[in-house]
Structures are given as structure tokens and as C-alpha cells.
Structure 1
Amino acid sequence: MTLTASLRARWALLWPRLARLAQRPERWASAHGLLWLLAGLLCAAFVYVLALIPFTPAISDIRKAKTEQPAQLLSADGRLLAEYKWVNREWVPLATIAKPVLDALIATEDHRFYDHFGLDWRRTASALVRTAGGDRQGGSTITQQLARNLYPEDIGRAPTLTRKIKEAITALKIEWLYSKDEILETYLNTVPFLYNAYGIEMAARTYFDKSADRLNVLESATLIGMLKGTAYYNPVLNPERAQARRNTVLAQMKKRGKLAPAEYDRLIKRPLRIRFERQNEVAGLAPHLAQQLRRQLIDWADRNGYSLYSDGLVIHTTIDGRLQEIATQAVQRQGRQLQGVADAAWAPRAVWGAKSPLVQQLVRESPQYAKAVAGGAAPEEALGKLLADGGFLRELRQAKTRVQAGFMALDPRNGAVLAWVGSRDYGADPFDHVQAARRQPGSTFKPFVYGAAFARGMLPTDQLMDQAVEIPLGGRQVWRPTDGRQPPSGEAMELRDGLAYSKNTITAQLMQQVGPERVAQLARAMGVRESRLEAVPALALGTSSVTLKEMVAAYGTIASGGLYQAPQVIVRIEDKHGRLLEAFKSAAPERALSLSAAQALRDAMRGVVDKGTGAAIRGRYGITADVAGKTGTTQDNTDGWFILMHPQLVAGAWAGFNDGRITLRSDYWGQGAHSALPMVGDVFRQALRGKIIDARERFIDEEESSWIATATGTLRNWAYDLFGRRTGEPDGPALVPPAPQPEPPRASAPAPSAPPQEERPEIIEAPLIPLQEVTPRASATAEPPVWVQQPEPAAPQPESTAPLPPQTSLESQVWLQTHASLDKTMS
């Protein structure tokens, strides 16, 4: 007879009796009736428990966390860049855990652990009685706690009867399949201890700076005491509660015979000694890059039926492990140097004080101020209290004036990303300043202006007058960009010298003739494809915020002769056995700038490092290889930039602060030539010495092979010879014909022994708008994957072989767009 048939037969016998009792209700009060009622309730409970079994988790391997293999991110030379882990945990065998830990755990949480089969009925009954009396008690065994910790979604944590039954069923399953030692080992390696510490090993390191096998009785009692409520008994924030709870655990150990009375009397008098050190997850060589890739890799794993955290995937990248390490060290080294400058510039007694309007504003923006006001304090009262708190002001100053930096390098021949450093220290600042941060690029944007000019047929040897410039903006507003304290020389200057010495007056005139829309269009084609560019005159000096990744990619276009190559990081993904799962090819190159224009621009940018604002590359770092680059400094020295190109390597760096209102307060250190250039120079010098790149490699100027380009070039030269090389617009300055002298005068060029300083432009006769705060944005913004090459709409590309239609005059129709950008103007 089947079980179902048997139950039906029993029910058939039971039903008539229940019917007779229903006809005579007075019989329920009899002993016989109560017995039947109890039997009915037990049967109902039994059926309810049976019904819950399918809704409890299937127990396959409670030690799955021990066998999980996180995905590994590897460099091109096989070095580990990062691992993708669920939690910060290190599994340790039960035999290596100190004995006082086990004694404290069993004595406090489940002293009959070795005597029951997952449920301690006596403890459960006692907990029910005490809870009914108003003293809420927990009756869970270690096995029940393990079930709750391992399967929080299946079991839940709500204080309901259903949850307790599901927990008990799961505990019985665990006890059926695993030994007591396996249960203890799993419990101690999976229990959370706050501060991203999971398991007894990470807890020991976090709170006592030692491994789990070296914990003494007091330390063991402190950690086990936390299990009742990790936040409530946190020894870092609540030391008095933690000490009281520790002594309770010691008392339980004495009661259960694990601690001698004399030793107990001695230990409870000891103070709570904590050596707290937050255990950050091992970041590896490229933690910022790993975080940028995490979301895309999770999507890939989900689509292909893998887990990024447990299936042992191996992701091979283009990163050069040697160059990544060199770049990380260079960023840290320069960061320390600049931090010393910042600390002196923002000294508490000199600048950082309660009377400073900026400090007051920063206090109003702090979470502490918001919390105080939300708690009922008056705004001025909350402000005054925080300004009087020396410790709070010190912490605020350290956070706000912490210098940050970013560095990225790629191979211009194929777009392979070779190094990616998102900040000075991932643990202190995980925000990525390569792809997530958008900052104004300053003079590093000027090559797009010159590139657009060369694409129209202008030459690096063409000249413009170094003179005061006035650009009407409409509404009786005039933009007068200057070169800071350096007055115009009034002499003719070649375009290549205007770029080498970062002359704002020359660049502004060139922008008038080329047109903002054409410059923005070229910048997008060359690689600035994720940030919005405002097509306004001030764009010439870098007013639109961009990312370091975009700028390095765009300079890679210059280095490769005008071919844009999308940055690529991921090469292939393999399983844990080395089987190829998917390979990723680099995107096809796109022609963004004509070959002749790109070569002219590249040659002009050689002058930046040979004699201009980047001369320290030659002088200080002794780099004799064929390189070209550009420095950049924003208004008020807020941002410093430098990007350098070599036939095999393009590298760029940014230095500044997360808050754009904070600067280095130094006209020397604030310049990109002194803040960002040392990082790039250091990396290039070591890369050349280490043979990562070849010092003998040179940029090779090639002839355009297209017969159309040849024909139009001939026609263009004939027109220039006939009418003169005058390509200026009617409302803008015209190009000055070449002077008859062999060498044009260069009165504005500084002496070679003293490389020129970059100057910030000045806005006159236009309302000044305060520089907006530049705060880090979450890296989860909609950034395109850096390893999945997605085609983008092709921007209209300027042709070098025929003049483009003239631009409209700069009248009131562009003022509304220009007005918001002018006071953020950069050199």
C-alpha cells in the first residue's frame, strides 16, 4: 500500500469520530476530546512541515565557498592584475584555528553541539518559555546559524514560525550530510565580522592584526562575542559593550569547564586591546581597470552561462605588466611630491580656517552638517559647532586637499591599452580618474584646433601676429584671451611655434578662422567620443570636460598618422582549464584626419618637447627618442595635463583634486609641465631603459597615395601661389604672408634655458561665473565598454584637399552657449 493510500485509509477512520464530536461540542472539553484536538493539531503541523520541505534550499556542498574560484584578470605577460571575489575571505582549515576560538564558540553559542542532530530541543523549549515571559531569547544551534548564514534568501531572517521551521529543516539536512568538524569549519569561515571581513581569519587580521591560529583567549572571546550582534558589539565603535560581552563569553567558558576560575578572575579585569586595521581586498596591479571591466564581464558571463566569481575564468588583457608597475610607482611618487605642496598651501593656520568662505561652504556640503540639520539643529548652530570642531576640520581638510592623479598608456599602432592607473591609491580613492572623471583639458585640446587648420591647407610655417585679440560674442560682449602676464610681442609667429609655446592669442585667432564646429567635429572623429563638446570659441583653450582615456586615444590618432584606433583591453577569455571561450579582435581603424595634416600636426608637436612648454622631457628626463606631446593647465591651476607620443607608445597623465575648487595654489606646481609631466617623463624614461619601447623607432612621414589627394594638393598650391596664402575669414584676422627673412622674428619665444610657462587666458568684458565644482561621478555611469568595440556614428570629417565652406560670424546666436564656458577657460 502506498503512503497516499495509507493516509486516505486513516482519514476515513478518523472522519466519523470527528463528525460525532462535532455533533456534541461538550465532549471537546473532556480528556478524550482534548486528546483528539491535540492529535489534530500535531497532524496539521506535520503536514505544514512536509509542505515547507520543497521550499528549503537543496544542500549540495556547504563548503562551496572553499572551492569557488574567482575570475582572474591577467596582463599580456601573464601577471595577475586583479581577482573578482564575492567577499573578502580567506578560508583556513579547522586544525589551524586557535583552540580558544572553538572553546568560546561552543561554550557560548551551542554547548551541546556534539550531542544533538542539528536541533537542541531543550534549548529551543527554554527559549520559547523565556520569550513568552517577555525575555526574548534565541535558541538556534550553530548548525541553524550556519543554515541562516549560507542561505539568507531561501530562509530569510524574519522572526516568524515559518522561517524557524525552514531553518530547522535545513539544519537537519546539513547534519545528515556533513560531520561536526566540517560544520564548524564552514561556520567559522563564512560568518561576517563587519568591515568587509568574512570568516575568522579576516576578523583576526582586522581587529587584532594577526592570523586566526595566534588568537589568545581574550581575543577569541571578543570575536565570538560579536556574533550576537556585530554592529552592537563592535569593539571599534562600542568598546564598553564589546568588553562586557567578552566577559560574558569568558563566564560561559568557565561555566562549561573551558576556563579555570582563577584564570577567569584574572582575565575579566584586562582592558580591551584592539589593533584595528581594515583589511582591503587584494587589489592587484590594475584595480581601477578591473572595476571598470567588472560590469561588462558580468554581462558576458551571464550571457554565456558562467559566474565571474566562482567558475575560474581567465581574462587575458593587453596590459603590459612591467609598464603598469612602472606607471603605478610613478603616479605614487609624483603624488607624494604634490601632496607636500598641497599640505603647505592649505596649512590650517594660513588658509584653512573657520573664517574662510570656502571652508564654510565645504562644511555646509558635508554629511555631518546635513545630519545635524536633519536632527533638528538650526543651520547656523550646526555650522558653528562643526567649525569649532578641530578634529572634524582636520579630517575635512585631509579629504578635500588630497592630491589625485590618473595615468593611461596605449600602443598607437593597434589601440592596445598598456597601462591604466586610476588614482594614487585604490584603497584611499577607488574613483577612476582615467575613464570616470571628466575634467577640462586646457592646452592639451589645442592640437585639435591646429589639426583642423592643417586639414584646411594651412601649414605649420604659416604665420599669425602675436597681438591682442578681441572676439565679439554678441550682446556687446567681447572675449579677450591673453597669455597671462606675458604681453603680446606684436611680432609674426609661425603656427608651429604658437603650438610649441602654447600661445593663447595665436590659438584664438586660429579658432576664428577654422570655426568651433569644425574643431569639435575633428576632436570627436579623433577619439573624444564619450564627452559632450560645446562648439564655442573658448573650446580652443579646452573648456569642455573630457576624460583622460579619450584624450590619450585622440593623441594615438595623431601618432598613427590620422587613423583612429579604438582602445582595446580584453584579448580573450578562457575557462579554468585553458579552453578558449571567446576572442576579441581590435576594431578596424578609422580615418579621422588626413595623413598630411596629421604628420604636420605631429611635427609641430615635436616643438613642444624640443623647445616649448614640455622641454623638461629632453632636459630633465634625458629622453632623446623621437617624441612629441603637449602640456595643459586649466584656469587657476585646477588641472594639470601632459600627453606624450612615441611610435610605439602614447601616454598621458592628469593631476588635480576631486573638488575643482581646491588647487595647488602655486603658479609653478599648478602647471601641467610640473604636475603631470613628471609622471609621463618617468614612465617613458624607464620604458626606454627597460627596452619596453625602442629608442631607435621614429615617426615616418609618408606620402599620400591617393591620386585625388595629389591632384587637389597641386590645385591648392597653384591657387595659393596665384592669390597668396590667405585663408582667413572676412570677420577674422588673416594669415600673414611669410616674411622675406630666412628666419621670422620670435621675440615672444623664451630662452631655451628657461622653458616657457603656460599661461591661463583672461576673460574681459564678460561676466565671470564661479568655476563649477568638479566632483567624482559614479563609475557606473553609462560608459561604453572599453573592451567591446562598438561602432559609433561617423562624424563628418574635414577634407584636406579642398577648402570647406566658410563659418558664420560669431554673433549673438552662439553667446548663450559660450557664456557658460568662458570663465572655465584654459591654457
Structure 2
Amino acid sequence: MAKVVKEKKTNGYFKYIKWFWILFVSGILLVVLLFLSASWGLLGDMPEYEYLENPQTNLATEIISSDAKTLGKFYLDDNRTPVPYDSLPQNLVNALIATEDVRFYDHSGIDGFGVLRAVAKLGKNGGASTITQQLARQLFVGVRSKNKFETIKQKAMEWVLATRLETQYTKQEIIAMYFNQYDFLNNADGIRSASKIYFGKEPQQLKIEESAVLVGMLKNSSYFNPIRRPELVTNRRNTVLGQMAKYEFITEHEKDSLQAMEMDINFNPESHKEGLATYFRMYLQGFMNDWISKNPKPALEGGRDKWNLYLDGLKIYTTIDSRMQANAEDAVRKHMANLQNEFFHQNTPKRNPTAPFLDLEKFEINKILEREMKNSSRWRSMADEGKSEKVIRESFKKKREMTVFDWNSEGRERDTIMTPMDSIRYYKTFLRAAMMSMEPQTGHVKAWVGGIDYRHFQYDNVIQGSRQAGSTFKPFVYAAAIDQLRLSPCDSLPDTQYCIEAGKHGNTEAWCPKNAVGQYSGKMYSLKDALANSVNTVTAQLIDKVGPGSVVSIAKNLGITGNIPEVPSIALGTHDTNVYEMVGAYGTFANQGVYVKPVMVTRIEDKNGTVLYEYVPETKDVLSKDVSYAMLNLMEGVTHGGSGTRLRHRGMQNTTVYKEIITGYPYGFKNAIAGKTGTTQNNSDGWFMGIVPNLVTGVWVGGDDRSIHFESIKYGQGASMALPIWGLYMKKNYENKSLGISDSEFEKPSNLSINIDCDRVVENNDEEDGLDDDIDDLNF
């Protein structure tokens, strides 16, 4: 009987052993089958080996300045610019290893010890995902599912992909891919964007504590967001520093010192509407779209048959100098804020019931506002939704919360409540500006400012906006006269009433231009003094002698496009043109008579560095060296005895806004400067074109409509509206010697055949109060 009981116990024991081994082997087989299924693609599509060799991530196109700085990027969802492993600081790599995968260099994609620890402790002390597994999930698997079965499938796929990645890439390449792939939030896709957005520097420049912040974000960038949750991120940073000390990447003393530091975030958001050279970047977008339409993608690239500006990781090398661009934007901001304050002061509803418009009847103002309403994005979007015109119009009368531009608010924005129609009128009150700076010998554009703030004023006045050139067109008349009649700056003409009768040069009626003050002095003016003081009667005599056709021909050869009518009145700048064309034209004078078409892009490369495009200069011989030098000599008179004299001022007795605008800021320039101011009728447009031997810069300031302007010439002339921007910009440029801006004399041709050594008669009736006489009478 005892034997039977013993046999039953033994059989029961072996039965349990048998079931244990069955379950154990079955478990192993299930795990093996799970991974085989994942490898065979039965649990979901797995990438081919070719894809593993070259993972297709969306790469932003990078815009690079002439001084090798990133001006901005073009991207849709991914603002990603990859960097190689050797561009990562060692402290960043150490922080990653210490925090995420301390045995990274000892495993082949899967950390067996970590897996056993996670199983034994049920994941309470962290998971077992290696850096390689995390990379596999980012590249190929995606967001972890909340469904347990799906999670198991995804985990199996991660393990298989991790082992494959380890066979395809070195450890260093995997680390670089991991950092380049991760989304650090706030448009910071990849370590390079994150480094620039959160700390304003390249990855190689990251300090240990900064690297710890970014590595800490790898746990969950949405939760550990340094902009929204600085305390949490600081604590997480300190945890990373603790891990680095634990694994002896830093000492305990270093850890304590670094943990005690405040987290210093230097937030530099990257978006299409913020950052440096926003207007230029939007011009460049159009340039690139045009280039892409004409240049198909090589077949060997595979995938799309057209280049994608936002996904293909192109590199666009531009002529813009980031330092000069920053100087230009600072100059525009400083002067325009002052000028706008004075404009608001003069256009209060009490002083001007039709503010900001002048000389308009109510029905004319309503017509302008009606046009702006129908051109607005609100009108277009509501019309696209099928809303009736009545409903759309009513929406413009309802008050709503909005953020508007304001020079005097932090960030130049403020929150307010107003109707969309009121906001249209509000934005009409702001004066606009445009500025472009170019190296005349190469045509390289160094700075481009299309407006006062791209977020709120997206119309680019450098190249989109065309306005009457005023007196800045006069040098083309003088150039034609010197070139064809062999006149010199010393030749004189009288300031008397001068009429070109009807029927001559295409005139339909007699044209008798007046000077700005409406008087004629009767004096003889040398050409140099006549240009310096913008004597309209002398300019009229010159265009009568050479004929409008000759002037139009020279202007066309200098790059001025559009339909320029061959009539005498063009001598006073009645033709509309833009800053881009005017800078190119004036560059010819500084380049010894050779016109060089302005260039902004020198080279385009694909993500691998293959050159796709290289710029070929477009040049044209327009004037002789002698004529060009004579023109520079003429325009130097503008800054010595004419409307540009204020550039020579050294200081101010009074620092009020009025004094800053009228007498100029304390520039104190002593070097050779050729230039020309321009002011159109009613002070609607203010211009200044300034030339030094290796830099030509044009500035325009005016309202959105010609009816928006200063009432007084004291404020409305080019010397008050535009010239100060040039002065502030050049002062900053000269302070930075590394820019190499010339302060030398203009190069004089050998054997100069045109006489320039003549006694100058300075006629500057308004020198005492800083006014000039360059405003043109365009009533003809």
C-alpha cells in the first residue's frame, strides 16, 4: 500500500516537471516565434535592408549666410538639420550613455541584463530599452500603443530592428542618428535645432549643464519642456548630472556645483515669421520654388521626381552677411520707432480727423478700406467657406480679441480687442520701410530688410513694392549728360524758370517744373551743386539737351525695368521703381561703370554636399570709368554741401525725437560718401541712396498708400525719413572692423579726362535747420 502511494507521489512530481518544461520550452518557442514573425513582417511591415542603410527622415532646407551662419530653414513639420558624431560634444554623449544606456558599448542592440532586471522588478526601476531600440522606435515603429497586445508586437519589432541597426551602423553613427532624430519640441527637431533654439549655439558649444538639460528632455520632451516647466526640467537636469557622477563621467564636486546653477535658457524660436532676415527668406522661398520647377531631381536620387524644399535637406548658400543683416534690422527698428512716434503725435484724431490719411475725402478713405477688406485673408477664407457677402461684412464689424503690432510694447506686440475693420485702419497708420545693401564689385547682397516686422507686415518693400523714385532718379539724367555731352561737374547752368514746350520730347503740354520752394534764385549752379541741392530747373535743362530717350536707355542698362515713358518729367523721378533695382543701378557708379546684377544665392547643394547650382555673374558695361567717377564726385557733393550733410554731424545738443529725426543721429562720418536723397510730392516717399567704395545701400520709407505721409517737409523729406537708417547702419558696420567696409577714397581712373577740380559754390539755404531742397514738383 505504501509503495502505491509513493508511486503516485512520484508520478505527480514528474507530471509537474513535465508541464514545467513544456511551458518553459513553449515560452521560448513562442518568444522565438514572436521574433521570427516580427522579422518576417507578419506583425507589421518591416523596412528593407536598403532602407535601414539609408533611413528616410524629413530634413529641413538650411539657409546659410556668407559668414557661415544659419539664417533660417524651410520645413513643414520637421525642422531637422543632421550633424555627424564628431560635431557632438563628448559631455553630451556621456550624459546620454549615463542616463539612457550605460552598457551601450557592451551590447548588440538588446541589453540582456536590463531585460532580466525589468522582468524581475516588473519595470519598476525603469524599462530595458537601449538607445538602439529607442532609435528603432523613432525611425520605424512609431508611438507606443496603449493596447497590451500591440505593445508586445511593437516591442518585438523594436528588438529585431535594433539588432539589424547594430549590424548596419557603428555605435557612433547610432548615437548621432538618435540625437538627430529626436523631437525636442518647439520646432526643435534634432540636436542641432534644439541646441540653437534653447541655447542659441551650435551643439559643439554646449556646456555640461546644457547637455544635461537636452538629455533630460529625452524622457518626454512634452512633459520636460524648459519653456513651460522650468522647475521640472531643472530637477530632471540634476538627475542626469547625478547619473553622470554615478558612472564617473564627472566628479561629485562637479555634480554639486552644476546642480546648484540656475538653468539658463536662451530661447531662440525658429519659425518662418521670426528670426533674422525674414523678408529675405520669403523672397528666397520664391526663388527656390522657381529653381525647383526648372531643375528636376536626378533619377539616381529615387523617390520624388522633384526636389522638395521642405523635406530634402538642401543647403542654400547666400550672399547675406548675418552681422550686416543684424545691423540693418537694428537700424530700421531704431529709426522707425522714433519716426512712428512722431507720426502718431502729428496724426491724432484731434489734429487730423482723417488720420492717418491726408488730403482725402471720406468717400476716398472708405474706398481704400473697402479694397483692403476684400484683399484680406479673412475675406478670402470666409468666401472659400461659402459665406455670403453680407455675413462676411458683418464679421468685420464685430469686436474680437487679437494681437496687434506696437512699437512700444514688449516684443512689439500687444493684446487688444477691436473689430477687424478697425485693425485695417490701425495698420494703415504705420509707416513702412525697405533697405538693401550690396557689394558693387560682385553684386553680392549683404543685407535685405523688406519691412518693419514680418509677423504683421508681410509685404516685401525691397522687391515687391514700387514707388516713385523722386530725386534719386536724377543721377541717371546727369550720367546721360556727362556721357553724351561730355559735361563735367564744374559746368554751370542757371536756376531760372525753364519750360519744355508742348510737342517736344513727347510732351502733350508745356512742362515747367518748379523747385521745392517754388522759387528761382537766378544763380548759376555747377552740376555738382545743382545735384547736391536738387535744383529741378537744372535737371530739366539737362534732360532737354540729351532727350528722355537717352535717359531711359541708360536707366534700362542700369537694371531699371518696367515701362519708363520717354517724356521729360521722368527727370524728377515720376517712374515707379523698387529698392532692389535702385541699389543695382547705383552699384554701377561704384563699379567703374560695370553693372552687376544683384545676386543673393551663390550655391545650392543636396544633403550629401553635391553641388546642384552655382551662380554665374551677369554683368554689362554701361558707362566709362571716367563718367562713373565723375558721377561719384557729383554725389559726394550731396554729403558735403547738400541734403546729406547731416551725415557729417558729430553730436546733438538735444536728444528729443524731433532733434534725432531732423538733425540726425551723431554719425560723424569723415570718409568718402556719395549719395542722393529723394522726396516725392506731398512727402509720400523718402529715399536715400548711399555709396562707399565697396558697399551700396538703398533705403525707402513711406506709408502703405501715398495719402499716408507727413504734412511737413521737415519730417517727410528723404533726409529725415530714410537717411538716418543708412547712417545708423553704416556706423554699426564701421564699428566691426572684420566686415571690411571701406573708409577710403573712391578709386580715381588714371588719365581722367573729365575735369572735377573746380571751386564748389555751396548753396544750402536750409543748412541751419537741417532741411534740404530735394522735394520734387510732380504736378505736370
- The TM-score with structure 2 as length reference comes to 0.59
Distance 1:65 1:427 in 2: 35
Residues 522-569 of structure 1, C-alpha deviation per residue, up to 9 Å, x if partnerless? 0111222x3332221111111111111110111110111211112122
Cross-structure match for 2:765: 750
Contact 1:482/1:762 (<8 A) preserved: yes
The answer on whether the counterparts of 1:280 and 1:427 sit within 8 Å (CA) in structure 2 is no
Paired letter, 2:367:
Q
Residues 285-294 or 687-696, more deviating: 687-696
Partner Cα separation in structure 2 for residue 561 and residue 495 of structure 1: 20
Contact 1:471 1:479 in 2 (8 A): yes
- Whichever residue aligns with residue 697 of structure 2, its letter is A
Task: State the Cα deviation string for residues 269-301 of structure 1 (Å, max 9, x = none).
Answer: xxxxxxxxx994364422222222224334356
**Correspondence list, 1:93-492, <5 A:** 113-115=147-149, 212-213=222-223, 280-281=271-272, 283-298=274-289, 299-300=291-292, 302-304=296-298, 306-351=307-352, 356-365=362-371, 366-367=373-374, 375=388, 377=390, 391-456=419-484, 457-474=486-503, 477-492=509-524
1:85 aligns with 2:75: yes
Q: Which residue of 2 aligns with 1:630?
A: 676
Residue 684 of structure 1 aligns with which residue?
730
- Equivalent pair of 1:80/1:284 in contact (CA under 8 Å): no
CA distance in 1, matches of 2:606, 2:393: 60
Task: Give, in angstroms, the shift of residue 645 of structure 1.
Answer: 0.7
- The verdict on how the C-alpha distance between 1:450 and 1:580 changes in structure 2, with shifts beyond 3 A counting, is same
Judging changes above 3 Å, is the alpha-carbon distance between structure 1 residues 357 and 279 closer, same or farther for their aligned structure 2 residues? Answer: farther
Write the distance in 1 (CA, Å) between the matches of 2:328 and 2:704.
20
- Distance across 1 between alignment mates of 2:282 and 2:275: 11
1:754, CA displacement in angstroms? 4.2
- Taking the aligned partners of 1:624 and 1:421, their CA distance within structure 2 comes to 26
**For the residues of structure 1 that align with 2:63 and 2:607, how far apart are their CA atoms?**
12
Give the direction of change, closer, same or farther, for the CA distance of 1:628–1:65 in structure 2 (3 Å limit).
Answer: farther
Distance 1:356 1:441 in 2: 28
Q: Is the 8 A contact 2:444 2:600 kept in 1?
A: yes
**Match of 1:26?**
none
Question: 1:437 offset after TM fit, Å?
Answer: 1.6
2:555 to 520, 523, 539: 523
CA apart distance, 1:461: 1.6
Partner AA of 2:718 in structure 1: G
Question: What is the CA-CA distance between 1:744 and the residue it aligns to?
Answer: 8.7
SS in 2 for 1:362: helix
Residues 273 and 455 in structure 2, CA contact (< 8 A), matched pair in contact too: no
C-alpha distance in 1 between matches for 2:705 and 2:221:
39
Question: Equivalent residue for 1:507?
Answer: 539
Is this contact kept in 1: 2:516–2:775, CA < 8 A?
yes
Cα–Cα, structure 1 residues 640 and 450, in superposed 2: closer, same or farther, change >3 Å?
same
1:680 deviation in Å?
Answer: 0.8
Instruction: Please say if residues 501 and 749 of structure 1, whose CA atoms lie closer than 8 Å, have aligned partners that are also in contact.
Output: yes
Moved more, 470-479 or 460-469: 470-479
Mapping for residues 810-825 of structure 1, pairs under 5 Å: 822=780
314 and 379 in structure 1: CA distance in 2 versus 1, 3 angstrom threshold: closer
Q: Decide whether aligned partners of structure 1 residues 597 and 376 sit closer, same or farther in structure 2, where only a CA change above 3 A counts.
A: closer
Q: What amino acid maps onto 1:556 in structure 2? A: G
In 2: Cα distance, 1:374 partner to 1:503 partner = 56
1:696–1:289 Cα change, 3 Å: closer
Indicate how the Cα distance of structure 1 residues 637 and 57 shifts in structure 2: closer, same or farther if over 3 A, else same: farther
Task: Call closer, same or farther: CA 1:176–1:657 in 2, change over 3 Å.
Answer: farther
2:513 counterpart letter in structure 1: P
Quick one: distance in 2 between partners of 1:292 and 1:593? 30
Listed one character per residue, the Cα deviations across residues 160-185 of structure 1 (whole Å, up to 9, x for unaligned) are xxxxxxxxxxxxx999999xxxxxx9
Q: Give the counterpart of 2:66 among 76, 85, 89.
A: 76
Alignment of 1:788-827 (within 5 A): 822=780
- Deviation, structure 1 residue 422: 1.5
Deviation sequence 1:362-410 (CA, Å, 0-9, x none): 3322237998998365999999999xx9744541222212221111111
Single out whichever of 358-367 and 535-544 deviates more from structure 2.
Answer: 358-367
Shift of 1:521: 0.5
Q: 1:757 to 1:393 in 2, by over 3 A?
A: farther
Equivalent in 680, 701, 709 of residue 748 of structure 2: 701
Cα separation, 2, equivalents of 1:615 and 1:85: 47
Contact 1:448 1:522 in 2 (8 A): yes
Q: Aligned pair in 2 of structure 1 residues 111, 602: CA closer, same or farther (>3 Å)? A: closer
TM-score using structure 1 length: 0.56
Change in Cα spacing, 1:348 to 1:451, as seen in structure 2 (3 Å) is same
Contact 1:527/1:557 (8 A) holds in 2: no
Mark the CA change 1:319 to 1:118 in structure 2 (over 3 Å): closer, same or farther: same
- Call closer, same or farther: CA 1:704–1:569 in 2, change over 3 Å: farther
Indicate the SS of the match to 2:497. Answer: coil
Give 1:683 shift: 1.3
Q: Which residue of 1 aligns with 2:714?
A: 668
1:113 Cα shift?
A: 3.5
Q: Distance in 2 between matches of 1:346 and 1:375?
A: 36
1:312 & 1:631 partners in 2: Cα distance?
Answer: 43
Instruction: List alignment gaps of at least 5 residues for structure 1.
Output: 1-55, 97-108, 120-142, 144-172, 179-184, 220-277, 718-741, 765-821, 823-827
Q: Deviations over 1:599-620 (max 9, x none)?
A: 1111011000011011111124
Residue type matched to 2:632 in 1?
R
Contact 2:471 2:775 in 1 (8 A): no
Q: Give secondary structure in 1 for the equivalent of 2:501.
A: strand
Matched AA of 1:213: Y
Letter matched to residue 662 of structure 1? I
Aligned length: 541
Identity of aligned residues (%): 30
Matched, 1:570 2:585: no
Summarize the Cα distance change of 1:541–1:461 in structure 2 as closer, same or farther, 3 Å threshold.
same
Aligned-pair CA distance for 1:471: 2.5
CA contact (8 A) 2:439 2:446 kept: yes
The amino acid across from 2:61 in the alignment is A
Aligned equivalents of 1:68, 1:374: Cα separation in 2: 37
| Shift of residue 418, structure 1, vs aligned partner | 1.3
Contact 1:80 1:285 in 2 (8 A): no
Instruction: Give the superposed CA RMSD.
Output: 4.9
Aligned partner of 2:134 in structure 1 is none
Aligned amino acid, residue 760 of structure 1: I
Which of 622, 640, 644 pairs up with 1:614? Answer: 644
Indicate how the Cα distance of structure 1 residues 118 and 493 shifts in structure 2: closer, same or farther if over 3 A, else same: farther
Per-residue deviation, 1:576: 3.7
Residue 491 of structure 2 aligns with an amino acid whose one-letter code is D
